[in-house]
Each structure stands twice: as C-alpha cells, then as structure tokens.
Amino acid sequence: MNEVPAPHDPIAIALAEDIGPGDATVEFFIDPTVQAHARIFAKEAAVVAGAETARETFARVDPALLVEVARGDGTAVAPGDTILTIRGRAGSVLTGERVALNFLQRLSGVATLTRRFVDAVAGTPARILDTRKTTPGLRALEKAAVKAGGGCNHRMGLYDMVMVKDNHLLAESAAQGLGAAIARARAARPGLRVELEADTLAQVRTFLALEGVDVILLDNMSLADLHAAVALGRGGTVQFEASGGVNLETVRAIAQTGVQWISVGALTHSARAIDFSLEFL
C-alpha cells in the first residue's frame, strides 16, 4: 500500500455533528437580520494554533461573515489578546462559535505544550518530535499545531516511513532478515527513511552495522545508556531519537545526551485545551 489516504474534512464533520439539520436556538430566537461584531480572545497565556481553521469554520457556516485573524498560528498571546474578529449575522456567529472554539482550544493546547518542550531543550542539539498518538481524524491539524509550537513532525502515518519496532522484530515476517528487508524497502521506494527501535546497547551495535539505517530509536533507555549509544554512533551518519519517560522534568537531561531527536507522545495525547472565549462587542 503506497498511496496516501484521501484527505477527509474535519471541519465539515465537526459542523455536521454540531448543527445537524439546523441550529434550533438560532432559528427560533435570533432575528436573521440582526448584525453582530464579535471577537475571540485568550483567557490565559498560550501559543496560537488553529486560527485559520477557526476562520474557515465561520466561513463554512456563512460565507458572508467577515472574519479576520488578528494573531496567527505560532503567535504567543496573553490574557485578553484578540485572536479573531467576526462581523456579520449574529445567528451565524452563534452557530459557528462552539466548533470554531473547539478547534482553536484543542490545537492551541498542542502548540502551547510543544513550545514548553521546545523551550526546555533550547541550546542543545535536540529537536522535539511528535508521534502518531493523535486524535483520530485530527492528525494533520494536530501535527500542524506541533509545528506552530516550534516542534517537528515525525512520520504522518504508516505509509511515509519505515519504523521497525520490537513487535515487528518478533513477528514471523522478520525472520527473513532485517538487512534484507531494509534493502527491499530501499529498492522499492528510494528515499524512504528507515528507523529501527533499540531497547539495548547490543541492539544499537547490531543496527549500526546495517546498511540503509537513517535513525535508531532509543526506547526507554537510561541517561547513561543514551550517552553510550550516541558515543557508539559518533562519526557516522545514523541519527538517534530518544523516546519513553519524556516529560518536562526529564527532557533537558535527555537532550544533553547528544540525541538529535526526542519524541513526545504527550504533545498530542495529553495537551490541555486552552481557554478562549467569544464575546459580542
């Protein structure tokens, strides 16, 4: 399977599940001729992500709405700062409010947490990576939020990178030989990056001897073993990624071992939603 999956439309899905056949409250309680001027603003310090997604949400509800992004993705904001302004039919603003806020709060939460990790490793060679531990259906948006926070994207899915983990090594198909499998992948798809997961220094030595390996993932290793693994690969072209046990208290010490990458599942699976609000002016 080499084809990239067809993209879906998370905005359309979110609006359909919220509005259904129509906004009953707006239909019966809001005069369609009433105009409004509103803004979405931050209620806490954050890094913005999803501003364009929120803007597009309002546009899908009512193309006549005038929506302007005051602070775009990657911008640090303080409490009270305006993110978007919206002008147009009051009913349309109210109908789009919750879905727009849901996207903005969730994605800004990812960007804000990512920025904290990026700041924690500042001055080291390490870069912060996301993982595939994303909200189903929101992967592209969440990975864009990681980039807005200063992080880097790992593979988008199973289709754009080889990543051999411990369960792959235990599977029957791996019995044909790891080196041969790497060669087949390289021949079939030149340029495809290959990453192998190592749990021990013995595995690191074995993997460093193979041709065609781009990255070795050092999984749940101690700081001493991380230092030792990096030393084993020094002078070569293979890069190292650390994973497991990574949090804001441990990430700097991990970065100081010399690894080039640190993957953090928490960026997307544990980010807290940022508090934003919409108010009529």
Q: Is 197 a catalytic residue?
A: yes
pLDDT of residue 3: 57
pLDDT digits (tens, 9 = 90+) for 122-152: 999 999 999 999 999 999 999 999 999 999 9
Rounded to an integer, what distance in angstroms lies between the CA atom of residue 156 and that of residue 60?
A: 27
Q: Which residues contact 262 (CB under 8 A, 6 or more apart)?
A: 117, 121, 126, 127, 128, 129, 241, 242, 243, 246, 251, 254, 255
* 147 flagged as catalytic: no
Single out the catalytic residue among 133, 147, 155, 186. 133
Residues 6+ apart with CB under 8 A from 150: 74, 114, 115, 118, 128
Domains identified in the chain and CATH numbers: 10-112+272-280 (3.90.1170.20), 118-269 (3.20.20.70)
152 bridge partner residues: 129
- On average, the pLDDT of the chain sits at 94
H/E segment holding residue 140? helix 139-148
**Which strands form 162-164's sheet, in the order they lie side by side?**
127-129, 261-263, 239-243, 215-219, 194-198, 162-164
Rounded mean pLDDT, 192-214: 94
pTM here is 0.94
Q: What is the pLDDT of residue 1?
A: 43
Active site residue 98: yes
Q: Compute the average pLDDT of residues 216-227.
A: 97
State the catalytic residue, choosing from 81, 97, 219, 241. Answer: 219
- Which of 43, 165, 189, 272 is catalytic? The answer is 165
Cα distances (angstroms) measured from residue 165 to each of 82, 139, 169: 45, 21, 6
Among all chains, which residue has been given the structure tokens 């993110």?
83
The answer to whether residue 17 is catalytic is no
Q: What is the DSSP letter of 158?
A: T
Parallel, antiparallel or unpaired: strands 82-89 and 35-42: antiparallel
Amino acid letter, residue 84 = L
Closest by CA position to 71, among listed 102, 38, 42? 42
Pick from 224, 221, 233: nearest CA to 260: 233
pLDDT by residue (tens digit) across 12-65? Answer: 999 999 999 999 999 999 999 999 999 999 999 999 999 999 999 999 999 999
